[in-house]
């Protein structure tokens, strides 16, 4: 099980190491959009949408890595003040009762929309935009799968730590 957890960690790390470059590319594209609009009077809906696509890709695909490195949003009312064993129980509860069921529900309820989008190769959000909304919608199941896998990896480690204690 630890080997599987390590493989999941490596996969989410690899995904994050690729999509992190979208942050820089987004800034450069947005800079070009602003210069184009205000200096040259040129505007491109597709260029504007590309920033949206990159932003969505960056955040949706790097979420598993964010969970791995424990940089996700945490409501830390009690967590910081309790023992390591209590933190482990809180984490297990969060994964099993909150995170995994919500990701499974999101995956289940979003799948028909994603499938239909691929079926018709859904076009742009705006006239003149990127003709690939089906790719944008595909980020939702990818996000769910990456989070589910990372959650399973973390659970393996949490249970392993608990058995040592």
Q: Which residues lie below 8 Å from residue 14, measured CB to CB, with a gap of 6+?
A: none
Residues 93-118 have pLDDT tens digits of 999 999 999 999 999 999 999 999 99
- Cβ-contact 161, 83 below 8 angstroms: no
Give pTM, 2 decimals. Answer: 0.91
Residues 8-56 have pLDDT tens digits of 999 999 999 999 999 999 999 999 999 999 999 999 999 999 999 999 9
pLDDT over 80 (residue 162) = no
Cα R_g (the chain), whole angstroms: 20
Using alpha carbons, select from 3, 2, 1, 15 the residue that is nearest to residue 147: 15
Q: Would you mind telling me the total number of residues written for the chain in this entry?
A: 165
- Cβ-contact 29, 55 below 8 angstroms: no
- Neighbouring CB atoms inside 10 A of 8's CB total 21
Q: Which residues of 77-115 are buried (b: 16+ CB within 10 A; e: fewer)?
A: eeeeeeeeeeebeebeebbeeebbeebeebbeebeeebe
């Amino acid at each position: 099980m630890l080997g599987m957890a390590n493989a999941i960690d490596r996969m989410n790390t690899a995904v994050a190491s690729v999509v992190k470059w979208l942050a820089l590319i987004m800034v450069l594209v947005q800079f070009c959009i602003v210069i184009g609009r205000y200096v040259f009077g040129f505007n491109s809906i597709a260029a504007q949408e590309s920033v949206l696509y990159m932003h969505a890709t960056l955040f949706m695909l790097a979420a598993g890595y964010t969970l791995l490195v424990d940089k996700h949003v945490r409501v830390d009312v009690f967590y910081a003040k309790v023992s390591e064993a209590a933190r482990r129980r809180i984490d297990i509860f969060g994964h099993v009762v909150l995170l995994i069921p919500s990701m499974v529900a999101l995956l289940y309820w979003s799948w028909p929309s994603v499938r239909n989008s691929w079926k018709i190769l859904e076009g742009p959000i705006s006239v003149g935009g990127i003709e690939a909304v089906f790719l944008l919608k595909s980020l939702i199941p990818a996000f769910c799968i990456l989070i589910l896998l990372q959650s399973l990896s973390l659970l393996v480690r949490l249970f392993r730590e608990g058995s040592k204690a």
